[in-house]
Chain A
Amino acid sequence: MMNFYIGVAALLSTIILYLLSKRMYRIYKSPFTLPILTTTMTIVVLLLAFQIPYQTYMIGGKWLDQLLGPVVVALAFPLYKQFKLLKTYIIPILTGVFVGSIIGICSGLLLVKWMNFEEMIMYSISAKSVTTPVAMDITQSLGGVSSLAAAFVMIAGIGGASLGPLILHYSRIHLPIAKGIGMGTASHAIGTSRAMENSELEGAVSTVSMTVSAIVVAILTPLLIVMIL
């Protein structure tokens, strides 16, 4: 029974902190004030300050995990809604996402291997370019650590959203469709919301790309890991 109350307290404080973070984000919009970042950091600091073990927090935290499977399934809906866009630009989207995904998985794996990090890190970093719930699932089936994957995904998202416009400019990627494909493939939902600020078309194509790349990376990662390791 005690556990139940701890769980409820953990769940409620997570939701409240998330809602507060969302409100703050609306007032002060930046990739560094994203609710996922500020909520996570606040909870980490609180747990450390009050010396609450992560396991205790997770009594309630794991209730939210139950919705991670369904939310990945739900991503089919925006893809379906943009089916016309996907069909119109099928070649640029598929080739761009495919090439980007292979380069993303391989460069992450090779750099980590080259720096002599443990295998566990390689498993956790390989899916960093896709949206968090998918990256966590891929990482789990490889035997990596989901929490680390989530951190890498966040860095890829925030990095891409804040440096993306500069990177795209200097690599002479100027067509809105190509920019959207780059943002969505490299920086998933966080990059997509940045692309949305440029134009609706760029945002929509980024949404499509991030979903296609989730599927492509899920299929390619295990194969590429076997080849590289």
Chain B
Amino acid sequence: MKILKIIAHIAVLYGFYFVGSLIQAELDLFIPGSIIGMVLLFLALTFKLIKDSWIEEGTQFLIKDMPLLFVPITVGIINYLELFSGKGFSLILIVLISTALVMISSGLTAQFFLLRKAKIE
């Protein structure tokens, strides 16, 4: 019974993905259809157009093992292995530096507003 529920829930998610992709194609947007579908689902849940119980189990099932879903595409780096040797090694460094910058800038910005709010109160 649970497996049927999960399949039905994933079908609902597919529906949102389909509508999102349709909007993306029709309006020729550069935002991926999956993201549009996600925003639509968020709005539908917030405005109580759909119930939690219509998607809950399917959602948890997919998110719990999300990494499995992108293993195949990640394995595709097999065609780009030479890229990470020699000069390409600096790409790893670039990603690490940029990641540190994101963490510092977002964390400090958030902390600034949190402290300001605490001071006002």
Contact = CB atoms under 8 A, between A and B. Distances in A.
Interface of A: 14-15, 18, 34-36, 39-40, 43-44, 47-48, 54, 57-58, 60-62, 64-65, 67-80, 83, 89, 91-93, 95-97, 99-101, 103-104, 107-108, 111-112, 115, 117, 121, 125, 128-129, 131-134, 136-138, 140-141, 145-148, 150-152, 154-156, 159-160, 163-164, 167-168, 171, 173-175, 177-179, 181-183, 185-187, 189, 209, 211, 214-215, 218-219, 222
Given A18-B68, A35-B67, A218-B32, A44 B106 contact: no
B92 A40 contact: no
Contacts of B4: none
Contacts of A189: 66
B38 A215 contact: yes
Nearest to A69: B17
15 contacts: A39-B68, A58-B72, A72-B34, A73-B17, A76-B38, A111-B97, A115-B90, A128-B98, A131-B66, A137-B35, A148-B77, A154-B74, A167-B104, A186-B100, A215-B39
A70 B107 contact: no
Contact of B103 (A40, A44, A167): A167
Contacts, number: 308
B121 to A, nearest CB: 13
A73 B99 contact: no
Given A104-B102, A115-B90, A168-B107, A147 B32 contact: no
Interface string B2-44: 0000000010011011001100000000111111011101100
Contacts of B101: 103-104, 107
Contacts of A182: 102-104, 106-107, 110
